[in-house]
Amino acid sequence: MDFMKVMHTRQTTRSYQTLELSQGQVELILHAGQNAPVSRGRFEDYHITVIKNSEILAAITSAAKEVTGNKDKDPLYGAPAFFVISVKEPAKPGSIASAAAIVENMHLQATAELLGSCFLMGLMANGTLDAEGIREKMGIPDGFTPVAGMVAGYPHGYLHDRPRTLEKIASNIVE
C-alpha cells in the first residue's frame, strides 16, 4: 500500500474478529517496530513482547477488570495479538517518546497489512501488568518495564481511507 494511503487509512480499531495473525504478519509488524528511531540510538534499552496466547490475553483482561473495577470493558478489545514495548529507563521522557515511535511504526505496518490496531497505554499506567503473575506470564525480561502497547487483528468491517487536512491540528510555518 502507498505510504500516503497508509497514513490516511490508519485508524484506531476497537473491535476484532477472532482470526489469528499469521507469523509473517507478526514478523512484519515487529520489523517495523524494530526500525523505529529510539532515543540515543540505544536499541538495547527496548524490548518488544508479542502475546498471542489466548489464555494469557484472557488473564490480562481479567486483571484489568479487577484493577479498574470495570467488569464490562475488555481493554484488549478482543484482539488476537498484543504487542508490548518495555524499556530499561521508564522515567526518562526519551524512553516514552521512543516507545511511542515504535508503536506508531507498528500501527502503520498493521494498516499496510489491512489489519486494525489500537495504541494502548492505560494497561501499563493503571497497574494491570503489575498484577500478581501477569508480567511473568507475559515473559517481560528482567530490568524492563512495559510502557506502551498495541493490539492488532482483523477488524470487524473495513479500514476506510479518511483524508486528513492540515486544519485538524493547528500549525504554523515560520520562515
Residue 7, phi then psi, degrees to nearest 5: -60, -40
Contact 49, 86 (CB under 8 A): yes
- pLDDT for the residue 155: 92
Residue 156 has pLDDT above 90, yes or no: no
Percent of the residues in the chain that have a pLDDT greater than 70, as a whole number: 97
Query: Which CATH architecture is the domain 3-153 placed in?
Result: 3-Layer(aba) Sandwich (3.40)
Neighbours of 46 (CB within 10 A): 21
Average pLDDT, the chain: 90
- pLDDT for the residue 166: 64
Percent of the residues in the chain that have a pLDDT greater than 90, as a whole number: 67
Residue 80 is given by DSSP the state S
Region 33-60 average pLDDT: 95
